[in-house]
């Protein structure tokens, strides 16, 4: 058989033959390319990439945090405790295990469940303190979409820490419960409870 008649080599597994691109998966398991958003205002600030560790390439750049994957931002939030400070590989394992638990409980893509949880747990209103002649008065204000994402991740991380610190519940199980509960808008979940509390206080200060 001549060279011109030789069959074309098969493309490697996971490669798009026409475009020549490799379909990367988060944690080598989860597809992030087909995620639905229910809150258009937050979609711009919830970045999804298959990379969960950017080696700090966005550090020190103002307002660049929204370009980091929301999964890595969750990992970074979970590191802000005494037990996990500076232990990113350990924290990434917690998130990876939590995603497996979420998938077992919901039979859905855990990235999709996380996005729903972040959208649900972001407060729409909060209060600021204004001073009038030395008197401090609370005032209700709308929350910017970027801050809503920040607050959601903060509440999920705090709820995980509270549920797993000095208890028999593992951090991965606690995180999975927070994500699933927030995605289902369960008011018993810490993240949703905190969101409701902030909005209740803001409603009283209108």
Structural domain range at position 120: 14-204
CB–CB of 180/121 below 8 Å?
Answer: no
Q: Check residue 63 and give its pLDDT.
A: 66
Kindly state whether residue 4 falls inside one of the protein's structural domains. Answer: no
Kindly state whether residue 53 falls inside one of the protein's structural domains. Answer: yes
Kindly state whether residue 23 falls inside one of the protein's structural domains. Answer: yes
Q: Check residue 184 and give its pLDDT.
A: 94
Q: Check residue 13 and give its pLDDT.
A: 46
Q: What is the DSSP string of 73-97?
A: HHHHHHTSSTTTTT-HHHHHHHHHH
CATH number, domain at 114?
Answer: 1.10.455.10
Kindly state whether residue 68 falls inside one of the protein's structural domains. Answer: yes
Kindly state whether residue 136 falls inside one of the protein's structural domains. Answer: yes
Kindly state whether residue 1 falls inside one of the protein's structural domains. Answer: no
Closest C-alpha among 181, 163, 182 to residue 171 = 163
| Alpha-carbon gap, residue 83 to 72, rounded angstroms | 18
Q: Check residue 180 and give its pLDDT.
A: 96
Q: For 67, which DSSP code? A: G
Residue corresponding to tokens 């990992």: 75
Q: Check residue 118 and give its pLDDT.
A: 95
Q: Check residue 58 and give its pLDDT.
A: 64
| Alpha-carbon gap, residue 108 to 80, rounded angstroms | 28
Coil vs helix vs strand at 198 = helix
Q: Check residue 53 and give its pLDDT.
A: 79
Kindly state whether residue 49 falls inside one of the protein's structural domains. Answer: yes
Q: Check residue 29 and give its pLDDT.
A: 86
| Alpha-carbon gap, residue 101 to 49, rounded angstroms | 21
Q: Check residue 57 and give its pLDDT.
A: 67
Kindly state whether residue 103 falls inside one of the protein's structural domains. Answer: yes
List average pLDDT for each run of 10 residues in the chain, which is 206 residues long: 50 44 75 90 89 71 78 90 81 93 94 95 91 86 92 94 90 95 94 94 88
- State how many domains the chain has: 1
Q: What is the pTM of this model?
A: 0.81
Q: E strands along 79-181, which residues?
A: 125-132, 135-142
| Alpha-carbon gap, residue 27 to 19, rounded angstroms | 23
Coil vs helix vs strand at 105 = helix
Helices (H) and strands (E) in the chain, counts: 7, 2
């Amino acid at each position: 058989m001549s060279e011109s008649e030789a069959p074309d080599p098969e493309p490697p597994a996971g490669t798009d033959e026409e475009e020549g691109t490799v379909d990367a998966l988060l944690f080598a398991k989860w597809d992030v390319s087909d995620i639905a958003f229910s809150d258009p205002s937050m979609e711009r600030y919830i970045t999804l990439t298959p990379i969960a560790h950017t080696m700090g390439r966005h550090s020190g750049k103002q307002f660049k945090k929204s370009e980091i994957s929301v999964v890595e931002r969750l990992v970074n939030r979970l590191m802000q405790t005494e037990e996990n400070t500076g232990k990113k590989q350990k924290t990434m394992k917690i998130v990876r295990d939590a995603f497996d638990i979420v998938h077992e409980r919901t039979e859905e893509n855990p990235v999709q469940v996380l996005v729903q949880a972040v959208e649900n747990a972001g407060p729409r209103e909060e209060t600021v303190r204004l001073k009038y002649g030395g008197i401090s008065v609370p005032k209700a204000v709308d929350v910017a979409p970027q801050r809503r994402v920040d607050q959601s991740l903060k509440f999920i991380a705090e709820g995980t820490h509270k549920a797993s610190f000095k208890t028999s519940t593992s951090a991965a199980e606690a995180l999975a419960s927070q994500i699933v509960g927030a995605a289902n808008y369960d008011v018993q979940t810490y993240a949703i409870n905190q969101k409701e509390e902030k909005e209740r206080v803001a409603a009283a200060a209108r």
